[in-house]
Chains A and B, each alone.
Chain A
Amino acid sequence: MSTHLTRLLLRAGLLTLLALGATFLLDPYRNYQLATSAGVFAAVAGLTLLVGLTGQLSLGHAVLMAAGGYGYALTATWVAGALAGADGEVADGVVGWLLPLLAGVVGALVAAGVLGLLLGLAAARLRGPYLAGLTLALVIALPSAASTIPALSGAQGISAPFVPVPDALAALIAVEQWHAWLAILVTACAVTPLVALRSGRAGLRMRAVHDDETASRLAGVDPGRVKTGAFVISSLAAGLGGVVLAIVTQQVSPGAYGLGFSLLLVVAAVVGGLGSLGGAAIGAVLVTVLPWVVDQATAGLPADLGHRLQGNLEIVLFGVVVIVVTVLWPGGLSRLLKTTTFFQNTKLFQNTER
């Protein structure tokens, strides 16, 4: 095991522990927001790697999240049902929730991975706007797909099993905090491999393909395989993001993964800084918290005006944020953080987009 990998795992473990500790300082609603941000972070991290390193623009990462969410919900519900059926009563204790959870994660990885592979195969043959168009079409097709496939129950969506707080912790933490823990752990499992890949040989290959496909082919790197691989990896991260949202809300419905949300993922990646995983974290928090801030700000306005602004003002604000960030810090907000001394050593905020 190389020292590089040890260091990376050490850092991942530390950050995860600190994030877990931070949940003690937050009230339930903010823990819920933290868990949501964590889910979005996983997806944005996958997206930013894809766009920043290989230059493939996907506008449809919300669908990959949805695939993960549906995969999780269907598998976890099925396993929970099978467990309950085996001994005639609802299985309780750790097994009762841990087995469905783990099975659900596997189901999510399979669903998101297969969809990602199909898309990735297409992505290797499509460039720029054509790939963006293809992924965009997927997002628009999601509601119809959900109502056509009976197992997905249309607009109503399907429910995912509730993961209760384990008895040992029940006195200590609320359910929102417990879900925030699960969210942080799943996200850590999604993001850490991305960090490792980016700084390793695979990252080098992706940059090579992005810079010059002919040159990389001459150097013995197959651009098609690299691009497809990057898409699959990115999809797996997005799928885990979908798992997080399914755990937190116990529900997967097409409405949660609409066009607006899918574009917000791109906004988060751009604002954070393309290719930067630390930037992805900032972007994810921003897209989760900004709508809530707007809601709070408009609460004081007269009801009529408030309702008209609701849902519209935040879109305008996101537009403004993207423009301001690209004008002032073209490398994204992660650039800004890099200039402060605390983060100088932190490779997490390294920006690879040129």
Chain B
Amino acid sequence: MRTTRSTSWSTARSTSTAAVLGLAAATALSACSTPAAAEVPGVTDDKVVIGTHQPLTGPAAAGFASISAATAAYFEYVNAQGGIHGREIEYVIKDDGYNPANTQTVVRELVQEEEVFAIVNGLGTPTHSSVLDYLDQNGVPDLFVASGSLTWNQPDTYPNTFGFNADYVTEGAALAQHAVDTDPDAVVCVLGQDDDFGEGILQGVELVVGDGEVATNQSYSTADQDVTAQLGAMKEAGCTHNVLGTINGFTALAVGTAAQMEWFPKWLVSSSGADYPTLVEYLGEEGTPALEGLVSVNYLPNSPSSEWYELFSEINEEYNDGAPYTGNTTYGMSVGYQFAEALAAAGENPTRESIVAAVESGELRGNGIAPLTFSADDHFAHRTVRIAVVADGVQDFTDDAYEVSESGATPVEPEQAPLENEGIPATE
């Protein structure tokens, strides 16, 4: 009996020695990583550090990796002109490979290790959803999420989260309204991604054509290799106007597959999957004619005739190594402009509270085709979208724009924000 006990104690002693060693190692580790608490995280006298999570590798990289590069280029341009309130903007881009599990790790890294002031333009619905609560609990401003999911517009639950894209319901409603306006006999169908994206588009379309009035609603998963079955069903249902809630890769796949079936319906595509240069890249020379007449919506000055487009092209040449100019470039730089505008409005000494208040104040203009709609009880930026059509290989705006509310889509006049002060937001 006694011997057993003594063995037990010696085991315990050796275990605790091991553990003490472990503790010592842990102390050494934490000593070099515990950062001194700054008053406002990420803000110093001459710098503001912000972070983002983007798909630089993985399935979504081909369609979206160029966005953050464009945003970074715009910030370099701003920094070269002296920054905002004398502070340079440092944009820390982390790759999450469009995998929610990675997003959680990299966002914690941004918040706890890099101590960013805010997360800006975190990309993707599944990815960003996974860090929404975390950012809320830590009081990190979660600005201009790169997705049109309705999730971002919950001011009571997530007071610091703001969307950037026009929400998918708005886009779906505008596209369907356009279809009905141009052809009263339109048979409207929907092909959507099997998440908030596809559901939002469907909801918007049904707002216009009526519940259950969509001829057929098909969906795909991003893991799918082809959409032949879905398009077969749509052709079968006699669709004339297909509204797509698809990302670029799947828009190309849908249009290409239909062309192979010798089927050429009208395509009406969400802004998230209607970037003409990207689609051309996917489809190649032979597939390009099928894109003729493709209708899409946009809320940003993504038109070669816009002065913003001209400025962004110059910035792209100078600060982005002249990367090919696509809709992602306009998007990324517009995000950069909108953040710079919010930072300018947040005052000489910005705090996390003051930048959220600045966005909610409703005074931000943005650079879109209509004034931003941010307010204390609306955390979405764009309720108005403008129709763009591909004609003779050029995607450009028409004069049609729709404002979407709960009662449906109503035609309005677009009011493009003018370019002032060489695209640097003014600080008073």
The interface-forming segment of B78-86, B94-102, B270-278, B354-362 is B94-102
Interface residues of A in 1-28 (CB under 8 A from B): 3, 6-7, 10-11, 14-15, 18, 21-22, 25-28
CB <8 Å contact, A10 and B12: yes
CB distance from B71 to the nearest CB of A (A): 13
CB <8 Å contact, B57 and A307: yes
Take A14-B15, A156-B195, A346-B11 as given contacts and tell me if A256 and B23 are in contact as well, using a CB distance cutoff of 8 Å. Answer: no
Query: Which of A10, A21, A346 touches B14 (beta carbons < 8 Å)?
Result: A346
Binary contact readout A297-326 vs B (1 if CB under 8 angstroms, 0 otherwise) = 000000100010011000000000000000
CB <8 Å contact, A342 and B99: no
Query: Is the CB of B182 closer than 8 A to any CB of chain A?
Result: no
The interface-forming segment of B24-32, B205-213, B363-371, B396-404 is B24-32
In the complex, residue of chain A having the shortest beta-carbon distance to the beta carbon of B223:
A143
Query: Which of B11, B34, B104, B112 touches A11 (beta carbons < 8 Å)?
Result: B11
CB <8 Å contact, B126 and A253: yes
In the complex, residue of chain B having the shortest beta-carbon distance to the beta carbon of A157:
B100
List residues of A whose CB falls within 8 A of some B CB.
3, 6-7, 10-11, 14-15, 18, 21-22, 25-30, 32, 143-144, 147, 153-157, 159, 162, 175-176, 249-251, 253, 255-256, 258, 292, 295, 303, 307, 310-311, 342-347
Query: Is the CB of B33 closer than 8 A to any CB of chain A?
Result: yes
Take A6-B8, A156-B129 as given contacts and tell me if A342 and B18 are in contact as well, using a CB distance cutoff of 8 Å. Answer: yes
23 A-B residue pairs with CB within 8 Å: A7-B4, A11-B15, A18-B19, A18-B22, A21-B23, A25-B26, A26-B26, A27-B33, A29-B112, A144-B223, A155-B221, A155-B223, A156-B196, A176-B112, A249-B101, A250-B134, A251-B100, A251-B129, A255-B99, A256-B99, A346-B11, A346-B14, A346-B18
CB <8 Å contact, B16 and A22: no
In the complex, residue of chain A having the shortest beta-carbon distance to the beta carbon of B10:
A345
CB <8 Å contact, A27 and B30: yes
Query: Is the CB of B108 closer than 8 A to any CB of chain A?
Result: yes
In the complex, residue of chain A having the shortest beta-carbon distance to the beta carbon of B27:
A25
Provide the residues of chain B in CB contact with A18, threshold 8 Å: 16, 19, 22-23
For the complex, what is the distance from the CA of A29 to the CA of B23, rounded to whole Å? 17
Take A25-B26, A307-B56 as given contacts and tell me if A14 and B112 are in contact as well, using a CB distance cutoff of 8 Å. Answer: no
For the complex, what is the distance from the CA of A7 to the CA of B129, rounded to whole Å? 45
For the complex, what is the distance from the CA of A154 to the CA of B197, rounded to whole Å? 13
Grouping DSSP codes into helix (H, G, I), strand (E, B) and loop, the A interface class, with mixed when no group exceeds half, is: helix
CB <8 Å contact, B112 and A249: no
CB <8 Å contact, A7 and B11: yes
Query: Which of A27, A154, A307, A343 touches B194 (beta carbons < 8 Å)?
Result: A154
For the complex, what is the distance from the CA of A147 to the CA of B14, rounded to whole Å? 50
For the complex, what is the distance from the CA of A29 to the CA of B104, rounded to whole Å? 11
Take A25-B23, A154-B221, A346-B15 as given contacts and tell me if A10 and B101 are in contact as well, using a CB distance cutoff of 8 Å. Answer: no
Binary contact readout B231-258 vs A (1 if CB under 8 angstroms, 0 otherwise) = 0000000000000000000000000000
For the complex, what is the distance from the CA of A28 to the CA of B107, rounded to whole Å? 13
What is the size, in residues, of chain B's interface with A at 8 Å between Cβ atoms? 51
Provide the residues of chain B in CB contact with A162, threshold 8 Å: 133, 137
User: Given A147-B194, A159-B133, 15 other A-B contacts at CB below 8 A?
Assistant: A3-B5, A11-B15, A15-B19, A22-B22, A22-B26, A25-B26, A25-B27, A27-B35, A30-B30, A32-B112, A159-B129, A249-B130, A253-B99, A255-B102, A342-B14
CB <8 Å contact, A15 and B15: yes
Most buried by B among A6, A154, A251: A251
Provide the residues of chain A in CB contact with B195, threshold 8 Å: 153-156
CB <8 Å contact, A255 and B101: yes
Provide the residues of chain A in CB contact with B105, threshold 8 Å: 292
Provide the residues of chain B in CB contact with A154, threshold 8 Å: 194-195, 221
For the complex, what is the distance from the CA of A347 to the CA of B18, rounded to whole Å? 13
**3 closest cross-chain pairs (CB), A and B:** A256-B101, A29-B112, A18-B19
Most buried by A among B11, B93, B97: B11
In the complex, residue of chain A having the shortest beta-carbon distance to the beta carbon of B99:
A255
List residues of B whose CB falls within 8 A of some A CB.
4-5, 7-8, 10-12, 14-19, 21-23, 26-27, 29-30, 33-35, 56-57, 93, 95, 97, 99-102, 104-105, 108-109, 112-113, 125-126, 129-130, 133-134, 137, 194-196, 221-223
In the complex, residue of chain B having the shortest beta-carbon distance to the beta carbon of A154:
B194
Provide the residues of chain B in CB contact with A144, threshold 8 Å: 223
CB distance from B393 to the nearest CB of A (A): 31
Provide the residues of chain B in CB contact with A21, threshold 8 Å: 23
In the complex, residue of chain A having the shortest beta-carbon distance to the beta carbon of B149:
A156
CB <8 Å contact, B223 and A311: no
Query: Which of A250, A292, A310 touches B57 (beta carbons < 8 Å)?
Result: A310
For the complex, what is the distance from the CA of A3 to the CA of B129, rounded to whole Å? 50
CB <8 Å contact, B15 and A157: no
CB <8 Å contact, A25 and B30: yes
Query: Which of A28, A157, A295, A344 touches B126 (beta carbons < 8 Å)?
Result: A157
CB distance from A146 to the nearest CB of B (A): 9
Query: Which of A7, A157, A175 touches B130 (beta carbons < 8 Å)?
Result: A157
Provide the residues of chain B in CB contact with A307, threshold 8 Å: 56-57, 95
In the complex, residue of chain B having the shortest beta-carbon distance to the beta carbon of A6:
B8
CB distance from B377 to the nearest CB of A (A): 22
For the complex, what is the distance from the CA of A18 to the CA of B104, rounded to whole Å? 27
Query: Which of A7, A25, A28 touches B112 (beta carbons < 8 Å)?
Result: A28
For the complex, what is the distance from the CA of A123 to the CA of B85, rounded to whole Å? 66
Provide the residues of chain A in CB contact with B21, threshold 8 Å: 342
For the complex, what is the distance from the CA of A176 to the CA of B130, rounded to whole Å? 16
Query: Which of A10, A143, A249 touches B104 (beta carbons < 8 Å)?
Result: A249
Provide the residues of chain B in CB contact with A342, threshold 8 Å: 14, 17-18, 21
In the complex, residue of chain B having the shortest beta-carbon distance to the beta carbon of A299:
B92
Query: Which of B16, B18, B35 touches A343 (beta carbons < 8 Å)?
Result: B18
CB distance from B11 to the nearest CB of A (A): 5
For the complex, what is the distance from the CA of A143 to the CA of B133, rounded to whole Å? 24
Query: Which of B15, B18, B133 touches A250 (beta carbons < 8 Å)?
Result: B133
For the complex, what is the distance from the CA of A345 to the CA of B14, rounded to whole Å? 7
For the complex, what is the distance from the CA of A28 to the CA of B126, rounded to whole Å? 24
Provide the residues of chain A in CB contact with B133, threshold 8 Å: 159, 162, 250
For the complex, what is the distance from the CA of A147 to the CA of B221, rounded to whole Å? 7
CB distance from B230 to the nearest CB of A (A): 14
CB distance from B254 to the nearest CB of A (A): 18
Provide the residues of chain A in CB contact with B100, threshold 8 Å: 156-157, 251, 253, 255-256
Query: Which of B4, B23, B29, B222 touches A30 (beta carbons < 8 Å)?
Result: B29
For the complex, what is the distance from the CA of A292 to the CA of B105, rounded to whole Å? 9
Provide the residues of chain A in CB contact with B112, threshold 8 Å: 27-29, 32, 176
CB <8 Å contact, B23 and A26: no
CB <8 Å contact, B95 and A14: no
CB <8 Å contact, B126 and A27: no
CB <8 Å contact, B33 and A155: no
Provide the residues of chain B in CB contact with A295, threshold 8 Å: 109
In the complex, residue of chain A having the shortest beta-carbon distance to the beta carbon of B23:
A22
In the complex, residue of chain A having the shortest beta-carbon distance to the beta carbon of B92:
A299
CB <8 Å contact, B19 and A310: no
CB <8 Å contact, A251 and B95: no
In the complex, residue of chain A having the shortest beta-carbon distance to the beta carbon of B8:
A7
